Copies of this chain bind each other. A is one copy, B any other.
Amino acid sequence: MSGQLKNDRLIRALRRQDVDCTPVWIMRQAGRYLPEYRATRERAGDFLTLCQTPELACEVTLQPLERFDLDAAILFSDILTIPDAMGLGLTLHEGEGPRFARPVRSVTEVAALGVPDPERDLGYVMDAIRLIRHELAGRVPLIGFSGSPWTLATYMVEGQGSRDFARIKSMLYNEPSAVRQLLRVLSESVSIYLTAQAQAGAQALMIFDTWGGVLGHAEYRHFSLDPMEQIVEYLRSDPVASQLPLIVFTKGGGQWLARIAAIGCDALGCDWTTSLREARRQVQDQVALQGNLDPAILYASPERIRSGVADVLEDFGPGPGHIFNLGHGVTPGVDPDHVKVLVDAVHEFSRTKR
């Protein structure tokens, strides 16, 4: 698939092949900081309608590519589409985060969960991917994604975002078999979902393990990493999905990079607490690294943003296998012109370096 691409820097870097300059994309690059996004969002009425209407999802996916010289598009969607398709009743209201009308709190409720069929239950995602691929016309690759099983489980059990994750952790410590069963259903669902995204046209895949970092070091292995490893195995056995590079990003997982690399993914996301130099040493350059500028630097001056970009490139050092990104999503209050400064600086500085 990447053969048809006019710009295949992302795919090459994910495979640790040489590139003319470091590819860059930005988590939540299609988002509230863009006035054109806010306009489409307003037209959609609410966030879920925006996600579930392929034409609108396509429109906002492409918006940042019109402004910035980005090396990838990422499907505009929500990480909670799977639990929504499972019937938990997702609502997303600006400012208060996601909520489920029917959270999952008992063994019985876990046992009642079914694996969504991607084309039947999440057809809007597959349609959006096909439409975006058509509209992109090979300009840059399209990244498909899913939340990790553990991350989906936290929202499904808590019913909403959480500070201390008391409910799911109580369940984890008191009824580990119920949590394991929930994670099994989710691993299977995410595996099938990502495979369907690959078949619909996604050219790289990413698993967002947003909440893996709240687990103890031993629990992380059992309740977040093992389920992700099962997904990797599933994807590797699919003729289409196995051709796509896979990025795994555990926010707050900087202490566990060697363990994450060992599950067989192609690249690791790193947040800004991790030195990329140190990360390379830990993973012995067996995987590519994606990241990792502090998103808050986008509140600073263009000069400061440029020096921040230079620092990250310098920290990664020479050699292939770096995909530039923030260490987390771009925040709503950021000036879009600052994002342009960042993107251009990545290309400018990394081209000079070579």
Expressed in whole angstroms, the minimum distance between the Cβ of A74 and any Cβ of chain B is 21
- The listed residue (B164, B220, B273, B299) touching A174 by CB distance below 8 A is B299
Find A173's partner among B216, B278, B300, B315 (CB 8 Å cutoff): B300
Assembly CA distance A174 to B164 (angstroms): 32
Which residues on the B side are within 8 Å of A166 (C-beta)? 296, 299, 331, 333
Does A352 belong to the interface (CB within 8 Å)? no
A38 at the interface (CB under 8 A from B): no
**0 or 1 for each of A74-94: is its CB under 8 Å from B? (1 = yes):** 000000000000000000000
A255 on interface, CB distance cutoff 8 Å: yes
Copies in the complex: 2
> When each residue 322-351 of chain A gets 1 if its CB lies under 8 Å from chain B and 0 otherwise, what string results?
000001000101000000000000000000
From known contacts A216-B272, A220-B273, infer whether A170 and B300 are also in contact, taking CB-CB under 8 Å.
yes
Q: Which chain B residues border A219 with CB–CB below 8 Å?
A: 294
Q: Are A170 and B252 in contact (CB under 8 A)?
A: no
Q: How many residues of A contact B (CB 8 A)?
A: 37
Residues of B close to A308: CB separation below 8 A: 173
In this complex, what residue of B is CB-closest to A276? B217
In the complex, whether A165 has a CB less than 8 A from a CB of chain B is yes
Q: Is A218 an interface residue (CB 8 A)?
A: yes
User: A46 at interface (Cβ–Cβ under 8 A)?
Assistant: no
Complex: how many Å from CA A331 to CA B167? 13
Task: Assess the B174–A216 pair: CB atoms within 8 A.
Answer: no
Is residue A53 within 8 Å, beta carbon to beta carbon, of the partner chain? no
In the complex, the answer to whether B217 meets A273 with C-beta atoms within 8 Å is yes
Closest 8 A/B residue pairs (Cβ) = A173-B300, A169-B296, A170-B299, A216-B272, A217-B275, A254-B255, A216-B294, A174-B300
A-to-B contact residues, CB < 8 Å: 164-166, 169-170, 172-174, 213, 215-220, 252, 254-255, 272-275, 278, 294-297, 299-301, 304, 308, 311, 315, 327, 331, 333
